[in-house]
Amino acid sequence: MIIEIRGIGSHNKGAEMMLLVILQELRQDNIIFAVSPLKSLCEYPFYSRLGIHPKLSLRYKGIQWGILGKYIPKRLRNLYGLVTEEEVDVILDSSGFAYSDVWGVDPARITAYESKRWKKQGKRIIFMPQAFGPFNDPNLRKYMKCIVNCADLLYARDELSYRTLLDLENNTSKIKVKPDFTGLLDGVVPEHLEIDDSAVCIVPNTMVINKGKTPERYLPLMVKIVELLRESSLEPFFLIFGGAEDRRLAQQINASLAKPARIMEENEPVKIKGIIESCLALIGSRFHALASSLYSGKVTLGIGWSHKYSYLFKDFGFEEGLIDPTVPEFELRHILTYVVEENKRQDLQLKLRLKANDIKSESRQLFKEIRSFVGFPG
């Protein structure tokens, strides 16, 4: 059986985490995983070390030329580990958050055309838990209706996404709700990690500036958070989750501080999670950094830019952990007491650990459903 995983890659650590969990939960000796290379990135070194095969794929001027790969002799394809579209049995789309007015029509348009072709080829099409919507653009709605019609299973990551999909096709047998599944990934503490018991992880995200409702408030808010943590004798440091843009944002925040905070980068997602698990708390804006911290039972405060953040905190019963960028300083100080006051912090940690266990159980059930649906051999 050949499973193609779509929407993932090394472009951010959250996407890598989703990929690693899928491999961890579905890998068997008789399963081959394949990916279509992203047009803008040469990711073969990344995929190959994970034992993933490249699918012949090249989209140019709106045409998928990769389908011509079937004319390459099979012996030659096998020699180089190449997979053709016809050989794929299952499509797993794990885009995270790609289908929305936020990103325009193109992601849905491309997936709609490909879904119709996959359906004719008899492939099983599954959308892993992710955020969907809104779909206010008429063309986007048209393409999303096509996607929902072609898909066999769609897992919304939250209730709003679920209702948004049902508005396109009221089919509760194929549209379901399951939480983010990266809690199933265990962290590994990096060797020689040097952080102490007062370390608070700060994870910036340029998307809050690019897509948020009050982008001008984000940088001053992050500066104030670092200053208030230091007032309480805590040691904030930046952990880069989204690459060069987030690193530049951390440097911008540092430029406004009397004393720059340490900037930490780690390439391996399991070690990033290990760093998060070693911290006193985490405050940030990258969805999967927040999820990793919540799953680890750490006090977690977030600043988001889309509905997926509010539902993440709702899943953990900690809606007050989401910070509005326009929050006045006195209210911000109160929110930070979850981090700085030991009794309050410990009570919250216990609550979060219990919630994390429940959500991880749901994620295990998700993969059980998928294995059953696709008819895993053995």
Instruction: Convert the pLDDT of each residue in 158-180 to its tens digit.
Output: 999 999 999 998 888 999 999 99
Q: Are residues 18 and 120 in the same domain?
A: yes
Residue 192 inside a domain? The answer is no
Q: What is the pLDDT of residue 290?
A: 98
- In the three-class reduction of DSSP (H, G, I as helix; E, B as strand; rest coil), residue 154 is classed as strand
Q: What's the pLDDT tens digit per position in 97-133?
A: 999 999 999 999 999 999 999 999 999 999 999 999 9
Rounded to 10 degrees, the C-alpha dihedral 151/156/159/164 comes to -40
Question: Tokens at residue 258, please?
Answer: 């009397």
Q: Does residue 242 sit in the same domain as residue 181?
A: no
The confidence score (pLDDT) of residue 40 equals: 56
369 class by beta-carbon count within 10 Å (0-12 exposed, 13-18 middle, 19+ buried): middle
Whether the upstream peptide bond of residue 134 has omega within 30° of 0, thus cis, is: yes
- Residue with tokens 């679920």, as numbered in its chain: 162
Tens-place pLDDT, residues 2-22: 999 998 877 688 999 999 999
Q: Which of 277, 283, 280 is nearest to 295 (CA)?
A: 277
Q: Judge if 340 and 303 occupy the same domain.
A: yes
Residues 207 and 337 in one domain: yes
Same domain, 168 and 208: no
Residues 147 and 180 in one domain: yes
Decide which of 229 and 376 is more confident. 229
In this structure, is the dihedral angle defined by the CA atoms of residues 164, 309, 263 and 280, taken in order, positive or negative? negative
Evaluate whether residue 247 is within a structural domain. yes
- Going by C-beta distance under 8 Å and a sequence separation of 6 or more, which residues neighbour residue 244? none
Q: Burial letters for 190-199: b for 16+ Cβ neighbours within 10 Å, e otherwise?
A: beeeebeeeb
Token pair in block for residue 14: 């959250």
Q: Are 264 and 176 in contact (CB under 8 A)?
A: no
Q: What is the CATH number of the domain that holds 325?
A: 3.40.50.2000
Same-domain pairing of 61 and 180: yes
Domain carrying residue 91: 2-185+359-374
Distance CA 44, CA 16 (A): 14
pLDDT class of 58 with cuts at 50, 70, 90: low
Give a yes or no: residue 194 inside a domain. Answer: no
- Model confidence band, residue 262 (pLDDT cutoffs 50, 70, 90): very high
Q: 190 in a domain, yes or no?
A: no
If asked whether residues 33 and 103 sit together in one domain, one would say: yes
Tokens found for residue 372: 């059953």
Q: What is the pLDDT of residue 5?
A: 95
Tell me, what amino acid is at 255?
A
* Residue 210 is assigned to a structural domain of this protein: yes
pLDDT (tens digit per residue) in 319-375: 999 999 999 999 999 999 999 999 999 999 999 999 999 999 999 999 999 999 999
Three-state DSSP at 200 gives strand
Same domain, 327 and 239: yes
Cα 149-150-153 angle, rounded to 5 deg: 90
284 assigned to some structural domain: yes
Q: What is the pTM of this model?
A: 0.93
136 & 168 share domain: yes
Question: 66 and 102 in contact (C-beta within 8 Å)?
Answer: no
Residue 349 in domain: yes
312 part of a folded domain: yes
Which tens digit of pLDDT belongs to each residue from 37-56? 765 566 778 888 899 998 87
pLDDT of residue 171: 80
| Residue 311 sits in the same domain as residue 171 | no
DSSP 226-246: HHHHHHTT-EEEEE--S-HHH
Considering the domain architecture, whether residues 133 and 254 belong to the same structural domain is answered as no
* Number of folded domains that form the chain: 2
Residue 194 has a pLDDT of 87
Tokens of 118: 């996959």
